[in-house]
Amino acid sequence: MSSSRVFSPLYLLLSISLLLQLAVALDPIFHECNTTSFTPNSTYNENLNTLLSQLNSTTPLTGSGNGSLGQSPDQVYGLASCRGDINSTVCQACITSAAIEIQQYCQYKEEAIIWYEYCQLKYSNLDFFGQIDYREAFYDALFSNVSDPASFNTSVINLLKVVEGQAIVSPKLFAMGSLGVGNSTTLYGLVQCTPDLSSANCETCLDWIIGFVPRYLYGKSGGIIMTGTCEFQYHTYPFEAT
């Protein structure tokens, strides 16, 4: 796309910084594929390609989107969701990458999901809208051990529960917050559910994954747990709004 805009050195630096940030954020964190395959060039394949293209076009406008296409047994359901604090440009870049890479990582699979720092995308031959997804989930203890794990663990859970209470009453089912820990540390937390969930199901999903903090993230200064329908992240530095 051509442009007559004159770029200042500062604008170029900011643009380069954003591109570097996006390059890191647009690496997939994790993906899952089911074992059942569909036939290349089949009707299901055509419906999937069309639906992914539609989600890529519509999701950045509001930050989320879902839909279905076709008739059984070739009907496909899809959902895309961006992190609640990012702008439409970053959302577009993330969903575009997801729509391409989900088919590379899960080629010809009837059901798949891919997670990024800024978005997630999933599709299935089954109607999953509004249902809590307990099947696909992963965690990552991102950072180092803290000096007082018991106290820190309590602070993590307290913060996530407060932010959860804010998220389940928000239109995006998304919230962020912070909590002072000790004399010099601030803990930052983020929770989000996919937009197809009800407030009650969002709360149930978040309660479930927050309950795994002591088992998988005990004493870690940062961590993440993501499922097909909800997620949380926390660490000791602010989230970068983009």
Tell me the average pLDDT of the chain.
Answer: 88
Predicted confidence (pLDDT) at residue 107 exceeds the cutoff of 50: yes
Q: For 9-124, which CATH superfamily applies?
A: Gnk2 domain, C-X8-C-X2-C motif (3.30.430.20)
As annotated, the residues of the chain forming the CATH 3.30.430.20 domain(s) are 9-124, 137-235
Rounded mean pLDDT, 63-68: 96
Which pLDDT band holds residue 184 (cuts at 50, 70, 90)? confident
Task: State the pLDDT at residue 220.
Answer: 94
Tens-digit pLDDT profile for residues 152-180: 999 999 999 999 999 999 999 999 999 99
Which pLDDT band holds residue 62 (cuts at 50, 70, 90)? very high
Higher pLDDT, 10 or 199: 199
Q: Which two tokens stand for residue 60?
A: 């950045």
Rounded mean pLDDT, 21-27: 56
**What letter would DSSP give residue 66?**
E
Predicted confidence (pLDDT) at residue 17 exceeds the cutoff of 90: no
Task: State the pLDDT at residue 241.
Answer: 63
Give Cβ neighbours of residue 144 (< 8 Å, ≥ 6 apart).
Answer: 220, 221
Task: State the pLDDT at residue 25.
Answer: 54
Predicted confidence (pLDDT) at residue 48 exceeds the cutoff of 70: yes
Within 10 Å of residue 24's Cβ, how many Cβ atoms? Answer: 8
Whether the ω angle into residue 214 lies within 30 degrees of 0, i.e. cis, is: no
pTM given for the model: 0.86
228, 130 in Cβ contact below 8 A?
Answer: no
CATH code, 137-235: 3.30.430.20
Question: What's the CA gap between 185 and 32, in Å, rounded?
Answer: 35
Tens-digit pLDDT profile for residues 85-102: 999 999 999 999 999 999
Rounded mean pLDDT, 125-148: 88
Rounded mean pLDDT, 24-44: 88
